[in-house]
Amino acid sequence: MADIIQLLPDHVANQIAAGEVVQRPASVVKELLENAIDAGADTIKLIIKNAGKTLVQVIDNGKGMSTTDARLSFERHATSKIKSAEDLFQLNTKGFRGEALASIAAIAHVELKTKQASDDVGNAIVIEGSTIVSQDVVVTPTGTSVSVKNLFFNIPARRNFLKSDTVELRHVIDEFHRVALAHPSISFALYNNGSESFNLPITNYRQRIVNVFGNKTNEKLVPVEEDTEVLHISGFVGKPEFAKKTRGEQFFFVNNRFIKSAYLNHAIASAFDGLLKTGMHASYFLNLTVDPQTIDINIHPTKTEIKFDDEHTLYAILRAAVKHSLGQFNIAPVLDFERDPNLDTPYNYKENTPSFPKVEVDRAFNPFNETASSVKQTTAYKSSGNSGNSSSSWESLYVGLESKGNVSQDDFGEVEFESEEQTLSIFDEDNQVEQSHTTYQIHNKYIVSTIKSGMLIIDQYRAHQRVLYEEFLKNMTTREGVSQQLLFPLQLHFSPQDIVIIEQLKADLEHTGFVFLEIAEELVEITGVPVGVPESEVSIILEQLISDVENEVPDSNFSATDLLAKSMAKSLAIKTGQSLQKDEQEHLVNKLFACKEPNVSPANRVTFVTMSVDELDKKFI
């Protein structure tokens, strides 16, 4: 029998490796930025076109490469970072496997220009699909420039799996944020389709966060600092009142490397226990410095997951450090039985000298004096025959009481009683009494209604989503959204990249009932909202909408209008756990079955189920 096992060609092996390392343009951005940092650059520029599908270029002023190194850098597992397996546990660099450039070159057109400071001229290498097209001597600045063009040009199936430009751009910006936040001592710039999106100068960590997420972020930050033998923690957490429904502003850096850790994230959530509303997530930007020998970075191709030797100790230290900072800066409530905050002196009165109150007493006052008695007497008790002495003054109060005891019952005909306040009901009370309610609410989650064949069980949250979704979709397509004006304009602050998304959706939002007074660099001013939308929910709706657009934008099969209607319906629908009155239950049931597709929610989840009498009978057999 012939042998069937054979070695794969290099170009096939590189394409397989590329499937692990390069998933989308953002993966290329991450690898190239990390290579520039390892080269010792202090100025790095990222240039992208069409969300990185057409071009990803990284230019740095690092130490550059020699002619031989430039050629070897595209070979598989060629690296200058490690020489033995033991070096994997002493890593202080970003890359170390030597597979990034080889994988990228296997599925794209790559052009590399590099020059060392000691050389007069540099080298340029052009590679297309792992094949070296040319290698020449060129004049180029000190440092390295890597251009990756036409990603997945030779793997059309992989290219078809890429999302829209909006989604891919968001992933690129996320990777840019992760690298830029980890290295405030390096200047970064991002250019998208010829326009400058970010220009981050060398600065401290707090200012780098503000430069990335907007000036309003500065007032949201609470510093965290802790130094132990096991772990050094530095960075910031967000104040509880600025928590969001999305997890966008959550960053862990271990030895200047961005990581994802659900376990450590739970430590932060535990530190904020009791300070956040349900479903809200706090922001954090934390740098953890540990001994490289206590972590294993080499467990995931993208190196975003790290294995710790003693996770329980890190969990306890991190949770305690965050709780300490929240208490130290008076963010968390403090039990102090001796202090009443209501008695604190306002700032404006701290320097003033208090004036003691004076009590003046009329020592000549005599309540039995006739003069004083006549002054204090009310007209209701005055008698027309009052004369002279003090005894007649009070005896006159009882004059006529005997005759009043014989009042006839007919004299009460003119007595008026104070009527109770009458409130109008939006429902006809006569009909309300006559109709019999046929709906019931179970656990503030399901609405049960009777039908001829048995009973109907409705999920109130999904049902209301369907009702709102069709209403919003109708308003946006017919452009007849009704708006309610706010007494005072509502000012909301967003990051610059979020403002770009809001500007794209402005027309559709206005058709639902939103009225925008101004959309500035980091500010959105709203003077009108759709009818039924509480003012307090506007910020949550827009944050949820931005998150949906960034992460869930469908392909060309769906429109932005459809996504907007789904997102708003999801934010405004009555939540599970909300108690509904009988009339509200029946109104929701009637509105649901007036929809075009009452069977499913906008997310294609079942809204109701039916159970026939026969099925119920079988339960009792």
Residue for token pair 């909408």:
545
**What are the pLDDT digits (tens) for 74-104?**
887 666 665 566 555 566 666 555 677 888 8
Domain with residue 144: its CATH number is 3.30.565.10
Q: What is the DSSP letter of 2?
A: -
CA 496 to chain CA mean position, Å? 15
**Do 217 and 193 fall within a single domain?**
no
Q: What is the mean pLDDT of the chain?
A: 79
Q: Kindly report the backbone phi and psi dihedral angles of residue 244, in degrees, each rounded to the nearest multiple of 5, phi listed first.
A: -125, 165
Order across the sheet with 523-530: list the strands: 483-493, 523-530, 515-519
Number of domains composing the chain: 3
Nearest 5°: the CA angle 345, 347, 353 is: 65
Q: How far apart are CA 176 and CA 497, in angstroms?
A: 13
Is the sign of the CA dihedral 509, 545, 26, 191 positive or negative?
positive
Residue 60, beta-bridge partner list = 44, 144
pLDDT tens digits for 7-35? 877 767 766 666 667 888 998 999 899 88
In this structure, is residue 521 part of a structural domain?
yes
| 151 and 16 fall within a common domain | yes
Does 216 lie in the same domain as 195?
A: no
184/278 same-domain check: no
Query: Same domain, yes or no, for 449 and 585?
Result: yes
Host domain of residue 309: 212-328
- R_g of the chain computed on alpha carbons: 37
Burial label for 608, CB within 10 Å (0-12, 13-18, 19+), is buried
For 509-563, how does the pLDDT look when each residue is reduced to its tens digit (9 = 90+)?
Answer: 888 788 888 888 788 899 988 877 788 888 888 887 887 777 655 444 456 677 7
Expressed in angstroms, the distance from the first to the final Cα of the chain is 64
| 466 inside domain | yes
Which pLDDT value is given to residue 428?
47
The answer to whether the beta carbons of residues 519 and 498 sit under 8 Å apart is: no
> Can you tell me the distance from the alpha carbon of 559 to that of 542, in angstroms, rounded to the nearest whole number?
18
In tens, the pLDDT along 357-387 reads 788 888 888 877 765 455 545 444 444 444 4
Tokens at 325, concatenated: 């900072």
Asked if residue 179 lies in contact with residue 34, where contact means CB atoms within 8 angstroms, the answer is yes
196/220 same-domain check: no
CATH of the domain at 227: 3.30.230.10
CA neighbor of 563 nearest in space, from 574, 552, 577, 579 = 552
Q: How far is CA 101 from CA 15, 67, 77, 430, 519, in A?
A: 12, 16, 10, 79, 42
In this predicted model, what pLDDT tens digit does every residue of 443-469 receive, in sequence order?
888 999 888 888 889 999 999 999 988
* Confidence grade of residue 430 (pLDDT, cut at 50, 70, 90): very low
For residue range 383-428, list pLDDT tens digits in order. Answer: 444 444 555 556 666 666 555 455 555 555 555 555 555 554 444 4
Any domain includes 311: yes
Model pTM? 0.67
- Does 418 fall in a domain? no
Q: 517 and 584 share a domain?
A: yes
User: Are residues 187 and 280 both part of a single domain?
Assistant: no
CA angle, corner 390, sides to 384 and 391, nearest 5?
85
142 lies in the same domain as 287: no
